[in-house]
Structure 1
Amino acid sequence: MRVMLIQPPVSYPGEASMAKHRLPVLPPLGLMYVAASIEVDGGHTVSITDGFAEDFRPKHQPADEYHPEPYMRYGLSDKALEAKIRRMRPDVVGVSKMFTNLTNDATNVFRITKKVDNTIITVAGGPHYTMSWKKDMENQDINFGIIQEGEIAMLRLLDYFGNDSEVEGIPGLIYRHYGTARLSAPPEFIKDLDSLPFPAHHLVPPPSYYSAIGSGHGSHSTPGDVSATIIASRGCPFKCRFCTTPILMGQGMRYRSPKNFCDEVEFLRDAYGVTSLSIEDDDFNAVQSKFLGILKEMVRRDLGVTWSPPNGMLAAGINEEAADLMVQTGCNSVSLALESGNKRVLQEIMRKPVSLSHIPKAVKWLRDRGIRVMLFLIVGSPGETKAEVMDTWNFAKKCNADWYGVHIFIPLPGTELWGECIEKGYMPKDQDLSQLKFSVANITTPWIEPAWLEDMARKINLDLNFMDNTNLREGKYEAAKRDFERVLGLYPDLQHAKDALARAVMEGGLY
């Protein structure tokens, strides 16, 4: 069968820029894994259309059915996407629904597909679809869906089309039974990740293309680097109440073998000239022995690449041995998931296993070895008080990280805290998912007014990253200058970034 997998274009309301929403431009790794499986194991003809990265330039668009106001489109226009579907003439179109606030763009792809040919079989998948498939299947333009991992289910679904086999029993498949969406069989996670073919890099633009349009996603690679994405593991051993990862990838950890992981790194380096890796795991170092095993194999094979884990690592898994191996293997930047500096918020609201006393140690071990550290912070969780927000601010100041990602709490569909926010009336039951953003108050609680929270998040960011910037305070002016220049590359008119850059240049004599 001819299968076309599509990463939707991205649309932002009004004149909003992509930088404002902090959305990285990365290869669609999930679709690339699915494509490899159905191409190698199923013998099907597969293509991938990255509607976001292809023709990547902003386009002003008028209001339409899915966008109540004029908007900015990044990637393929509707006309270009329609023409591509007509040219490919697929039997099946699979669409990735990655992010909750971009669900309208995926809906639009299904509409265009059915406009081209109503007999094309459409399949939805991805993180957002997994968390909200019952709602999404109200869209009659979607014929089937796959929740959680898609490699096996998509292959089995294509077998069903080709051999007239039974749809019942396909793990993770959503189908309609007399008009009602239902789950065919519980999803099954792939236990042996080494059994999967490498992602289909040959079906998307080369890593050099993504690097040129900004695929770093926190990797802090130097200009001229060719960056690629890769994963070493899937899953999560924890049960944080705000996070979707245990639902999407399963409770517990599954790792690739060190050899298999490093084989792909060598392939990317030799075939595409990759010099920098963005390791997209959610919990790369959750199992210390597995994490160190991969690092030791990287040292043994002297791969000659740099790397960073932008989605965050566990501070508890950082010790001096790990930090030594990380720097030996080329790690140049790490994000650590602190989230809150208040013990009650961590334990009772988030249910996140963080040892606050260990965070400053982990930051110091990494920074002493030249690894840049960013701490993730979340403020405004349901039940959090103003005093507890201030605790996070004050604790973060003691950690002396290079940078801080300050985010306002977003309730994600399917999580415990999403249900709590709906049940207690902190947000409407018919919440417009496209309006959820890290930069605004997404819920209203009895403890914190939205205006106060938004103002406080801005103040925390201004203080930690600019006014009391760690590198400025420590006299590390080159490092401070690089960070401020990165910020101004995204936000050219940000005055406090200009002021901080001027201070770094003046005090450091970096004329």
Structure 2
Amino acid sequence: MGQLVVELKTVTSKADNLLRRLIAEKLRFKLPQGCRRVLLVNPVHVPKEDYSVEVAVGNRYPVYPPYGLGVLSRNLRERGYETDLIDLNFDLQEELQSGRQGFNYDVWEEWLRERIENFQPDLVALTCMFTVTHRAMKRTAEFIRENYPYVSIIAGGVHTTQAGEMVLKDCPEIDFIGLYEGNTAFGDLLDFVNGRAGEEALSQIAALIDGEYTVLKNRAAKNRTSVSVRPYYHDLRIGDYSPKNGRIGVYYWLWPEGTRASTVLANVGCRAQCTFCSVRNFNGRGVFDRPASDVVDEIEYIRDTYGVRHIMWLDDDLLYGGPVALFNEMVRRNLGITWDASNGIIASAMTEEIAQAAYESGCIGLSFGVESGSERILRSVKKPSGVRHFHRCMEILRKYPQIFTKFLLIVGFPDETIGEVWQTIKLCVETQPDWSTIQVLNYIPGVEITNHALNTGLLTQQQLIDGTERPFTGSTGQHIRNVAGQKERAKEFVNLLDGDPVYVPQRDEIADIWMVMDWKINYEGKIWREENPIKLEMLRKLFVNICDKTHANNALVNLYFAVLEFKLGRPEEAQRRLALAKTFSESVAYWRLRFAVLGLNEIMRRVEEDIRLRQPAN
């Protein structure tokens, strides 16, 4: 047996050496003169066919500083390489907000052309974090290859890591894929092509060679020091990102007007291994926490340099390591900033001590990765928290009403029944988070739950790679067009939650289930019950944002906004919102049908009667 193991290791070693040699040869071929100048590019995030000017004008598209590219830039510069960074996503949003006549989505091509011709890079590095950005990244690579065929292209990020082979085959203009985090590996690659390191330094890289996907999966060494890097943003105007030209995080509506926001990372990785998530594959096993002093130094720097007064943590596991020490250091330095954790916190990690320290250090919003109220589903997707943890977490945070709490939920898990959807609704009604965001399960490449869907024929590789299979919900341009398209004639609507509890909904039925869940959890199950004046005022800010910015013409939200205004002692505003709800529910077929099926017309009449009866006498 021992001899067999040795022989297998020898075969594996020889195979790895062959792959390394093939990758090295392609690198030498594509960069025969070496590589001294690297242009880092953040492409436009929303593909042209999905882009909505209405959404963009309302600052509803996320516009985050390119944190990862900033980290790469600093690391490469410390090795002696020249870098430049262009954020086409921010630039396009700023162009639209400028109000100049004749907005042209394709203007990004002119900006990229100018930057390439001025900087003259040897290599262009594209980032692609999310599957929905794939098509936009692909067009960026096509533009570069068509106009600058001599410039090599490498792409990195979560999406390209998870779908490396599919990306290269769908976008042959890309020469190489940088896998995982590139903090160390990217610099090692440049050292190799410049003759400063041997082939053995290569790691985390893939390419198509003679049509075959060739990949080095070995990871560069990582430690606490290598992950604690402050981004170098070049000339990017970080203070103008949000709220001026887009949104950062999900709590922007709580900020005082004009608050400048940015992002910071305290930990890299996540201790969980959820089957629908890519973090563990991208970051590797374990979590690396940055020294608290380094993190707070970075916060002070962006505050003093860019005028930032609010930060969103980019962390996937913020409460790992020493969160209390971090929050206490923020208090000790009297930063004068607020913060939120939009990405999602592990509920089972919350303690009384952490909650107190978070509140004292400026926390205004915490999102929790709950996903489901079904213990079976939580176990099947390997969540690190269970229903009892969600109850305990909300009990702790009720002592801090100034912190807005949000559950992040997913509907549409494989084999999820109507009864299990009701378990999720029940959990939210019992625990009473301030709000719950419900997302239809998104299949992302390279994770366990997606591999199962591919193997069983639930989706194709092309649907997966370009994101076209996703049922769109929420305030996206796609969803807005869907509702608008049903203004005169709506598709049939059936409340499936009234049906058989063991029924497993089909993929094309999930969007309607999502809508009913949203009503049951956030409106029917929340607004009638809330009495805390602090929470009511926070909810009012949220509803102003929803009704007047993100979901204009939404009958459901205006109906319950009327209830909220009435509870806050604003009868005139309550009447105005109720009138809007009536108008939209009668004039838009999408809402007319749902109000009839769900009994919302009767609720509207009751609200109208309550307002009338409690009007002060003249």
Give the structure 2 partner of residue 13 of structure 1: 49
1:353 matched to 2:389: no
Aligned counterpart in structure 2 of residue 197 of structure 1, from 211, 229, 241: 229
Q: How far did 1:214 drift?
A: 2.5
1:376 matched to 2:412: no
Give the structure 1 partner of residue 319 of structure 2: 285
Output the amino acid matched with 2:436: Y
CA 169–42 in structure 1, closer or farther in 2 if over 3 Å, else same = closer
User: In terms of mean alpha carbon deviation, does 166-175 or 126-135 score higher?
Assistant: 166-175
Give the structure 2 partner of residue 63 of structure 1: none
Paired residues for 1:252-271 under 5 Å: 252-271=286-305
Paired residues for 1:92-131 under 5 Å: 92-131=123-162
Deviations 1:30-83 (A, max 9, x none): 1111111112x1222211111111131687xxxxxxxxxxxx986853343334
Give the structure 2 partner of residue 29 of structure 1: 67
Separation of aligned partners in 1, 2:266 and 2:129: 20
Helix, strand or coil at the partner of 1:122: strand
Aligned counterpart in structure 2 of residue 3 of structure 1, from 22, 31, 38: 38
Give the structure 2 partner of residue 455 of structure 1: 512
Separation of aligned partners in 2, 1:102 and 1:428: 18
Separation of aligned partners in 2, 1:81 and 1:312: 34
CA 14–108 in structure 1, closer or farther in 2 if over 3 Å, else same = closer
Output the amino acid matched with 2:134: T
State the superposition RMSD in angstroms. 2.6
Helix, strand or coil at the partner of 1:24: coil
Which of 1 and 2 has greater Rg? 2
1:240 matched to 2:274: yes
Decide whether the 8 Å contact of 1:373 with 1:403 is kept in 2: yes
Helix, strand or coil at the partner of 1:425: coil
Decide whether the 8 Å contact of 1:232 with 1:256 is kept in 2: yes
Output the amino acid matched with 2:521: L
Separation of aligned partners in 2, 1:75 and 1:99: 21
Decide whether the 8 Å contact of 1:32 with 1:200 is kept in 2: yes
Equivalent residues, number: 492
CA 446–392 in structure 1, closer or farther in 2 if over 3 Å, else same = closer
Give the structure 1 partner of residue 443 of structure 2: 411
Q: How far did 1:293 drift?
A: 2.1
| Structure 2: gaps spanning 5 or more residues | 1-35, 97-102, 475-501, 574-618
Give the structure 2 partner of residue 64 of structure 1: none
Separation of aligned partners in 1, 2:305 and 2:94: 27
Decide whether the 8 Å contact of 2:37 with 2:81 is kept in 1: yes
Aligned counterpart in structure 1 of residue 427 of structure 2, from 389, 395, 399: 395
Helix, strand or coil at the partner of 1:33: helix
Separation of aligned partners in 1, 2:199 and 2:88: 30
CA 4–126 in structure 1, closer or farther in 2 if over 3 Å, else same = same
Output the amino acid matched with 1:417: I
Helix, strand or coil at the partner of 1:426: coil
Output the amino acid matched with 2:506: E
Paired residues for 1:304-383 under 5 Å: 304-348=336-380, 350-369=381-400, 370-383=402-415
Output the amino acid matched with 2:468: Q
Q: How far did 1:470 drift?
A: 4.5
Output the amino acid matched with 2:267: S
CA 371–147 in structure 1, closer or farther in 2 if over 3 Å, else same = same
Separation of aligned partners in 2, 1:137 and 1:21: 33
CA 164–226 in structure 1, closer or farther in 2 if over 3 Å, else same = same
Q: How far did 1:97 drift?
A: 1.2
1:480 matched to 2:511: no
Output the TM-score relative to the length of structure 2.
0.74
Q: How far did 1:305 drift?
A: 1.1
Helix, strand or coil at the partner of 1:437: coil
Q: How far did 1:238 drift?
A: 1.9
CA 183–194 in structure 1, closer or farther in 2 if over 3 Å, else same = closer
Q: How far did 1:429 drift?
A: 4.3
Decide whether the 8 Å contact of 1:286 with 1:314 is kept in 2: no
Decide whether the 8 Å contact of 1:173 with 1:183 is kept in 2: yes
Separation of aligned partners in 1, 2:429 and 2:519: 12
Aligned counterpart in structure 2 of residue 497 of structure 1, from 557, 563, 566: 557
Separation of aligned partners in 1, 2:41 and 2:302: 23
Separation of aligned partners in 2, 1:155 and 1:403: 43
Helix, strand or coil at the partner of 1:48: strand
